[in-house]
Amino acid sequence: MLRVFLYLISIVSANVITAAIMPLEIGIFIIPMGTFLIGATFIFRDLVQNKYGRGQTYLFIITALVLSGVVSSLLGDSLMIVTASALSFIISETADTEIYTRLKLPIAWRVFYSGIVGGLLDSVVFVIVGLSPLGAGFIPWEAVPAAILGQVIAKTVIQLIGALVLNQVYVVKARRVSMG
């Protein structure tokens, strides 16, 4: 259950951190601080799926979606931001789940590739639906590509770190099994 707890708490924490801490500005990139935890949620979701299977993982995704919506509302996010968050969440988590399921690679690579696609979809949908003039209007259209790219870069870095750590964990596990 630790995996499920980490998955759910990372989603709630991402919402709280995004609302509480000003975005990181690096050149033209504006990266909400919760973005770094969103990258981690894909890793935790994959670990949940690895242990509990695809069917149960969808139940945890729905639970996380409800929790995320409730927390966003309690934080005072506008209906457009809550909607964009929910939409980007369900699309990205579903894509991550389905890609992870279908890849026939070691776990580290499945986590990395499925998370990259999930992170890209999450960033594109959230920025366009939530932040652009189409949504809440927090950023102008000219800033949309940099906002998406900044989030994708941050999530990809987290995915890479997670994949490298998982790879090491499984290498060590495999050595123990072969020695024992």
- Helices and strands, counts by H and E, the chain: 5, 2
| pLDDT value of residue 176 | 83
Quickly tell me which residue has 């997670």 as its tokens. 162
Give the pLDDT confidence of 51-106 residue by residue, as tens digits.
999 999 999 999 999 999 999 989 998 899 899 999 999 999 999 999 999 999 99
Tell me the domain boundaries of the chain.
Answer: 1-178
Q: Is 90 exceeded by the pLDDT of residue 41? A: yes
Q: Which has the closest alpha carbon to 20: 86, 84, 71? A: 71
| pLDDT value of residue 180 | 66
Name the CATH topology of 1-178: Arp2/3 complex 21 kDa subunit ARPC3 (1.10.1760)
pTM above 0.85, yes or no: yes
Task: Please report which confidence band the pLDDT of residue 175 belongs to, taking 50, 70 and 90 as the band edges.
Answer: confident
R_g of the chain, CA atoms, integer Å: 16
| pLDDT value of residue 3 | 94
Are the C-beta atoms of 59 and 8 separated by less than 8 Å? no
Give the pLDDT confidence of 112-154 residue by residue, as tens digits.
999 999 999 999 999 999 999 999 999 999 999 999 999 999 9
